[in-house]
């Protein structure tokens, strides 16, 4: 056997040994949308006396995907939660650090634009919603200008004549990334004829429309969606962007905007009719499996609760169809390594 292989093997063994000695619980971080669901699964696993309850933290999807990819060892998390799927560039960062992952889809979620029940129920098209919050819009000369719209009625006279003020997550958030792609880019810039003409004239792609306003119309409110809920309960003229589960849990005081004729309900999101919905993922680090106790058991714990009648559904997560649940249950057993071609 070559000396370099012996040294590599010894280094990996020493690293994994340090994980085992330093930590006897699973460390998880990432999406604020996945957070309540992962916490439920972690607490369920905590009922098993053979394992400690996994520690689940927030920080945003970017933190989850980057954190799980940063390296192998006790200082790095074991599992990253995400409400936006990993991109090839993020996977390349993993591979550069010697990290191999398995991707597990755990369910679906809708992104809502909510407001206080003491305020106005917004009924808006996806195109107008994107037009209201994207940073740049077509100007009089056909080029892009800073978004000038102050009130919702400036976007469309049929909308309320009140200021555009929307609380939402920061740039590290998968919810924000998914919203910007589905609403600003695909809902507005890909559909609006004036926007398409301006993009063509500028030689730009619709991705430029993903940038959110920074002039006070869109207000970053951190990764804790409960803080946005609190803001809306205090201010009936404001709106907030977050995952459906937070609307579901606060349905006594909040209401979800009707987007392109469809209200955000459990059934309409599950049926695919609600126009702003996305998948939820967890990313599992291979090198920690079998070393940090309970990772495989934690993954199987998800399968006990992610069905139509499971506790995760009661908490607001939209279940995958049965065939998809079976596919990812097998993936948990086989742990296929995520590759770039799987993300295409």
Domain stops at, among 277, 311, 334: 277
Specify the pLDDT at position 202. Answer: 83
Specify the pLDDT at position 135. Answer: 96
Those residues with Cβ within 8 angstroms of residue 251's Cβ, 6 or more apart along the chain or in another chain:
none
Phi first, then psi: what are they for 65, rounded to 5°? -70, -40
Can you tell me the distance from the alpha carbon of 174 to that of 279, in angstroms, rounded to the nearest whole number?
10
Q: Describe the chain by its helix, strand, coil percentages, rounded to 5.
A: 45, 20, 35
**Same domain? 291 vs 174:** no
**Same domain? 310 vs 175:** no
Specify the pLDDT at position 74. Answer: 84
Structure tokens at 209: 């429309």
Those residues with Cβ within 8 angstroms of residue 143's Cβ, 6 or more apart along the chain or in another chain:
198, 201, 202
**Same domain? 124 vs 258:** yes
Domain stops at, among 260, 277, 294: 277
Can you tell me the distance from the alpha carbon of 344 to that of 342, in angstroms, rounded to the nearest whole number?
6
Pick the closest to residue 130 from 190, 196, 183 (CA basis): 183
**Same domain? 156 vs 266:** yes
Structural domain range at position 97: 3-109+280-343
The pLDDT profile of the chain, 344 residues, written as one tens digit per residue, is: 433 333 333 344 444 444 444 689 999 999 999 999 999 999 999 999 999 999 999 999 999 999 999 999 989 999 999 999 999 999 999 999 999 999 999 999 999 999 999 999 999 999 999 999 999 999 988 889 999 999 999 999 999 999 999 999 999 898 899 999 999 999 999 999 999 998 888 888 878 899 999 999 999 987 778 889 999 999 999 999 999 989 999 999 999 999 999 999 999 998 889 999 999 999 999 999 999 999 999 999 999 999 999 999 999 899 999 999 999 999 999 999 999 999 97
The packing angle between helices 88-96 and 61-69, to 10°, is 30
**Same domain? 196 vs 238:** yes
Burial of 141: CB neighbours in 10 Å, binned 0-12, 13-18, 19+: exposed
Domain stops at, among 277, 303, 322: 277
**Same domain? 182 vs 312:** no
Residue length, the chain? 344
**Same domain? 32 vs 114:** no
**Same domain? 137 vs 272:** yes
Structure tokens at 341: 């071609």
For residue 100, give the 3-state DSSP assignment.
coil
**Same domain? 234 vs 285:** no
Can you tell me the distance from the alpha carbon of 125 to that of 123, in angstroms, rounded to the nearest whole number?
7
Specify the pLDDT at position 182. Answer: 95
The torsion angle over the Cα atoms of residues 185, 228, 173 and 186, rounded to 10 degrees, is -10
Specify the pLDDT at position 22. Answer: 64
Phi first, then psi: what are they for 193, rounded to 5°? -65, -40
Cβ-contact 194, 118 below 8 angstroms: no
Measured between alpha carbons, how far is residue 116 from residues 62, 230, 241, 287 in Å?
Answer: 29, 10, 12, 46
**Same domain? 45 vs 140:** no
CATH of the domain at 307: 3.40.190.10
**Same domain? 183 vs 44:** no
Specify the pLDDT at position 286. Answer: 95
Measured between alpha carbons, how far is residue 118 from residues 132, 152, 252, 328 in Å?
Answer: 22, 18, 11, 42
Specify the pLDDT at position 208. Answer: 85
Residue 56: strand pairing partners: 28
Number of domains in the chain: 2
**Same domain? 127 vs 273:** yes
Residue reference for tokens 């940063």: 70
pTM here is: 0.81
Following DSSP, what letter does each residue of 131-186 receive, concatenated? HHHBSEEE-TTSSEEE----BHHHH-TTS-SSB--EEE--TT-HHHHHHIIIIIII
């Amino acid at each position: 056997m070559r000396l370099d292989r012996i040294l590599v093997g010894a280094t990996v063994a020493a690293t994994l040994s340090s994980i085992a000695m330093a930590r006897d619980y699973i460390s998880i971080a990432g999406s604020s949308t996945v957070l309540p669901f992962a916490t439920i699964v972690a607490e369920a696993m905590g009922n098993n006396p053979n394992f400690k309850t996994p520690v689940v933290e927030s920080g945003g999807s970017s933190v989850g995907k980057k954190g799980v990819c940063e390296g192998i060892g006790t200082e790095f998390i074991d599992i990253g939660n995400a409400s936006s799927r990993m991109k090839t560039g993020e996977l390349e960062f993993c591979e550069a650090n010697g990290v191999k992952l398995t991707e597990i889809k755990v369910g679906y979620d809708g992104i809502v634009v909510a407001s206080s029940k003491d305020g106005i129920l917004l009924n808006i098209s996806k195109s107008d919603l994107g037009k209201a919050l994207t940073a740049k819009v077509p100007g009089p000369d056909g080029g892009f200008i800073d978004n000038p719209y102050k009130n919702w009625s400036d976007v469309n006279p049929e909308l309320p004549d009140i200021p555009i003020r929307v609380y939402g997550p920061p740039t590290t958030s998968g919810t924000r990334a998914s919203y910007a792609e589905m609403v600003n880019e695909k809902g507005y810039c890909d559909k609006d004829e004036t926007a398409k003409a301006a993009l063509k004239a500028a030689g730009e792609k619709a991705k430029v429309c993903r940038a959110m306003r920074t002039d006070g119309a869109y207000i970053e409110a951190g990764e804790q969606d409960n803080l946005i809920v609190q803001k809306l309960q205090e201010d009936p003229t404001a709106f907030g962007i977050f995952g459906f589960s937070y609307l579901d849990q606060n349905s006594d005081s909040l209401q979800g905007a009707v987007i392109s004729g469809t209200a955000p309900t459990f059934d309409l999101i599950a049926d695919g009719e609600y126009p702003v919905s996305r998948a939820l993922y967890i990313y599992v680090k291979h090198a920690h499996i079998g070393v940090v106790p309970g990772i495989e058991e934690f993954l199987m714990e998800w399968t006990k609760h992610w069905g139509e009648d499971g506790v995760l559904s009661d908490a607001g997560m939209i279940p995958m169809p049965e065939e998809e649940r079976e596919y990812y249950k097998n993936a948990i057993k086989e742990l296929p390594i995520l590759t770039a071609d799987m993300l295409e």
